Amino acid sequence: MPTALVTGASAGLGRALAAALVSRKWTVVGDGRDPAALAAAARETGFTAVPGDVTDPAHRAALADASPALDLLVNNASSLGASPLPPLGRYPLAELENVYRVNVFAPLALTQLLLPALRAARGTIIDVSSDAAVEAYEGWGGYGSAKAALDQVTAVLGAEHPDLAVYAVDPGDLRTAMHQRAFPGEDISDRPLPESAVPAFLRLLDERPPSGRYRAADLLVSA
């Protein structure tokens, strides 16, 4: 039975991915900062909950202990940063540092820790990206630049580890709590639910295309 670790599994896309993998008979370990929300998601979907903050080295060590054998790492946990989204010229630098800690340094640190297990399994790494990594949207400079850095980290990891499948995936706009924070007070009910992007991620696992950056919309259209 393959094993996956999904960060940010208590809600949104992470929870939807964890549920889909469990339904495929994967053993799934999920983390999240809110112990109650994570426990509820784990009970309802059937994954093993390891609560904590992925920026905490001790928590990352606990995740590695819970995943001694690992076929798939999904770095999904992300920070939007300040809300409403500020222009870069006035971006609070302390908050920007935190965005980079969550969106770039923590996924790389967790990957470094789990590389031996992933290489033993010739496994897969999926880093959840965003269209804000490649498009210059006003106000999205903090989050978008961090996701652009994560994209480059992902690309280099793919080049350095040809035995692994290493993907950055842009899931598109989804109806999540983080997306709502990006548009405070606005009606985002027209955005698709996180579950709608899951088949794109499963297609990557099933077909194992070359490492690289993919858009969920493209994978869904041509599936």
Catalytic positions: 143
State how far Cα 24 lies from the chain centre: 19
Beta bridge partners, 72, equal: 4, 124
- The C-alpha torsion from 61 through 153 and 196 to 33, rounded to 10°, is 30
Q: How far apart, in whole angstroms, are the C-alpha atoms of residue 94 and residue 15?
A: 29
**3-state percent breakdown (helix, strand, coil) of the chain, nearest 5:** 50, 15, 35
Do 198 and 22 form a contact (C-beta atoms < 8 A)?
no
Burial of 80 per CB tally in 10 Å (0-12, 13-18, 19+) = buried
